[in-house]
């Protein structure tokens, strides 16, 4: 859990759960959290639910996730911003992702 954008400060006490199959937890002082899905297998889809009063999720489309075989390999990054700032922070985030994809394509060519 990071504030505003990639490289932002970690957010603690962010509530994290899933629509089905996991008990609720909170992020720690480093913004990290862990969910266990005892009745689910890697490859199955899950919908995460993230909440912190006064904040909204920037990259909410990524809350629709697939359970990884190795969760340590690529941890899920969730960005939150103060309510009312989501549009600006989402534009920054998705522009960054777009630029990364363009650069990767350019390097391949």
Mean pLDDT of the 65-78 span: 90
On whether the CB atoms of residues 45 and 66 are closer than 8 A, the answer is yes
| pLDDT, tens digit, 9 for 90 and up, residues 26-67 | 999 999 999 999 989 999 999 999 999 999 999 999 999 999
In the three-class reduction of DSSP (H, G, I as helix; E, B as strand; rest coil), residue 17 is classed as strand
With bands split at pLDDT 50, 70 and 90, how would you rate the model's confidence at 100?
Answer: low
What's the pTM value of the predicted model, to 2 decimals?
A: 0.81
- Who contacts 53 (Cβ-Cβ below 8 Å, separation ≥6)? none
Q: What is the mean pLDDT of the chain?
A: 90
- Find the range with the poorest average confidence among 65-74, 80-89, 95-104: 95-104
């Amino acid at each position: 859990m990071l504030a505003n954008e990639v490289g932002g400060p970690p957010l603690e006490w962010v509530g994290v759960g899933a629509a089905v199959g996991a008990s609720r937890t909170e992020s720690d002082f480093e913004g990290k959290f862990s969910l266990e899905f005892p009745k689910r297998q890697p490859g199955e889809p899950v919908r995460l639910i993230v909440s912190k009063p006064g904040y909204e999720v920037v990259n909410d489309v990524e809350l629709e996730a697939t359970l990884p075989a190795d969760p340590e390999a690529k941890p899920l990054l969730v960005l939150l911003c103060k309510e009312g700032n989501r549009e600006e922070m989402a534009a920054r985030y998705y522009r960054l992702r777009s630029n990364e994809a363009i650069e990767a394509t350019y390097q391949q060519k």
